[in-house]
Structure 1
Amino acid sequence: MDAFERIKSAKGPSLFLLSKWKGRHEGLTAGFTGREGGTSKAPWASLNMGLHVGDRAEDVVRNRQRAAEALHWPLEAWTCAEQVHGSRVHRVTKRDRGRGRLAHEDAIPGCDAITTDVTGVLLASYYADCVPLYFHDARRGAVALAHAGWKGTVQRIATETIKAMERDYGSKPEEIEAAIGPSIGDCCYEVDGAVISQVGQLLDRLHVNAGARLACMQAKENGKANLNLKEINRQIMIKAGILPSHIEISQWCTGCRRDLFYSHRKEGGKTGRMASWIGIMER
């Protein structure tokens, strides 16, 4: 079974729960939405969660409301960042609760990773092939989300998120649990020279061995390469001190499973967005 368990519902929103974490930690919820069970019309049909892709805002907010209700959380807790394909991390406080839930312009600006130790805050971010990264420090009650496309991956946003948790909450990398959610797989993600060069430099800096390097990036005869962003981010997490046994990784590919997920690359850029979420409910 995948680390992200598909929850089938005839009427409700499509959800993929990080079920292993929920079973171990009271009040913690983490997961990923699919593309089914919403109100958006084509080409965003139907559970589009992104306010920045041209869809009707009222449909997106309604979709977010449906997801929040299915998770038994109030929409007022839903808290979002702008996402600019960078590596900046923002610490979410009580004052930030609910930012970006109704309007993209209200989202926390200029960052792709958000952290919090405030209960009752539901962190959320948005994807259509990029890699969702989840972090949980049970000892200190801290959680984080990071949005890692190839640019954020090369900038090591996972490392920056871990450093922020160390600085802000006293987290220790070896005690942090991490997860890598559904995203485009190496089966569907071909890149060219500019990306190959930057990823190659990253793997050099990480001192990734030959076997792991091949798992991260496979060269092709046409001068391009297939990129495994999930494995690259796993390697970054390990180098940052997270134990391999503490990392869950999804095998769902957004490119292969367009019946379940949106794919920016496979759908020509005109499509919706899934949401990742993580939060600890108030007791």
Structure 2
Amino acid sequence: MKEPFVSVHNSVYVIKEWQDLAPNLVVGFTTKEGGLSQGAFKSLNVGFHVHDCLEDVYGNRQLLGEVLEFPTSNWVGAVQTHDHRIVEVGKKDKGKGALDYDTSFEATDGFFTDEKGILLTLCYADCVPLYFFSNKSKRIGTAHAGWKGTVLGIGFEMVKKWQEDGIQPEDIEVVIGPSICKECYVVDDHVIERVRQWVDSEKEIPYASADGRKGQYHLSLQLLNKLIVMKAGIPQENIKITHYCTSCHNEFFSHRRDLGKTGRMMGFIGWKEK
């Protein structure tokens, strides 16, 4: 499968195929390069909540707004809680959570919109960024899927919300973005029991026993999210998965690799006004 993410700047990867299809669309994922932060957060940390210097986080976000040509005054952000709450946003919400964590959408792990001039943003450091796009309906969305949000079916919920508005799954494209890979991600029986509810095919099992480690498993959150959105009706040919692992590749922050003391990348998607 062709890699959906293409580097356009040392700070940014974009989903080139989508941007080529819809020139006003801005969609991608940041690296940890090209920012102002120091120490464990060096250098493009965009997370307010990780105890970085807030002035540096503000500066990093402003720098990113310049690179994307999408001002921070038009962003929305969330207090992410590893759940499956999804919010529809519009121009009235512009600026919420962009430069002030206190104004972020509370307890939210997914956004979608039909409106132009608003950038949907969520933060990551190993969890899975899910991107949703219907060129036919001009609707866009994104979701933050750690293992908890994944097994709660946040990807499934997004598709069903769109379907309620008359957007059929076959008209929705999904990209699964940079996140921790199966080889780097080990979980226990408790997690796998929650995973099994979504797995009913012997052909694609998203986990495997970790050699010599009783009750431990390697889990592919990428494949699991693919299976979940397929259960919601998304055709397999409409789904693309990145090859980038946030733990393997040092251009990204990784919560596991960095033992919890690290910054956050940003997944983003939005329609420019023109």
- With normalisation by structure 2, the TM-score equals 0.96
Partner of 2:254: 263
Paired with 2:62 and 2:166, the residues of 1 have a C-alpha distance of 34
Partner of 1:219: 209
Task: Give the match's secondary structure for 1:5.
Answer: strand
* 8 A Cα contact 1:186 1:227, kept in partner: yes
The offset of 1:86, in angstroms, is 0.3
The offset of 1:139, in angstroms, is 1.5
Q: Deviations over 1:103-148 (max 9, x none)?
A: 1121111110011111000000000000000001112211101000
Listed as ranges, the matches of 1:120-159 within 5 Å are 120-159=117-156
Paired with 2:57 and 2:101, the residues of 1 have a C-alpha distance of 11
Listed as ranges, the matches of 1:97-108 within 5 Å are 97-108=94-105
Paired with 1:101 and 1:8, the residues of 2 have a C-alpha distance of 21
Partner of 2:184: 188
Task: Give the match's secondary structure for 2:174.
Answer: strand
Listed as ranges, the matches of 1:1-283 within 5 Å are 2-9=3-10, 14-167=11-164, 169-203=165-199, 207=200, 209-213=201-205, 216-220=206-210, 221-223=212-214, 224-257=216-249, 259-283=250-274
Q: Which runs of 5+ in 1 are unaligned?
A: none
Paired with 2:85 and 2:73, the residues of 1 have a C-alpha distance of 24
Letter in 2 for 1:170: G
Paired with 1:166 and 1:109, the residues of 2 have a C-alpha distance of 25
Q: Deviations over 1:63-120 (max 9, x none)?
A: 1111111111111111112110000110102221111011112111111001111100
Task: Give the match's secondary structure for 1:43.
Answer: helix
Paired with 2:189 and 2:236, the residues of 1 have a C-alpha distance of 30
The offset of 1:60, in angstroms, is 0.8
The offset of 1:201, in angstroms, is 2.9
Paired with 2:129 and 2:260, the residues of 1 have a C-alpha distance of 18
Letter in 2 for 1:227: L
Task: Give the match's secondary structure for 1:187.
Answer: helix
The offset of 1:164, in angstroms, is 1.7
Paired with 1:247 and 1:66, the residues of 2 have a C-alpha distance of 31
Q: How many residues align?
A: 271
Q: Deviations over 1:148-174 (max 9, x none)?
A: 00000000100111112223x421111
Report which stretch shifted further, 146-155 or 87-96: 87-96
Report which stretch shifted further, 92-101 or 47-56: 92-101
* 8 A Cα contact 2:198 2:228, kept in partner: no
Paired with 1:166 and 1:67, the residues of 2 have a C-alpha distance of 33
Coordinate RMSD, CA, aligned: 1.2
- With normalisation by structure 1, the TM-score equals 0.93
Letter in 2 for 1:82: V
Q: Deviations over 1:4-46 (max 9, x none)?
A: 112344xxxx111111111111201110000000000111110
Paired with 1:178 and 1:118, the residues of 2 have a C-alpha distance of 19
* 8 A Cα contact 2:198 2:227, kept in partner: no
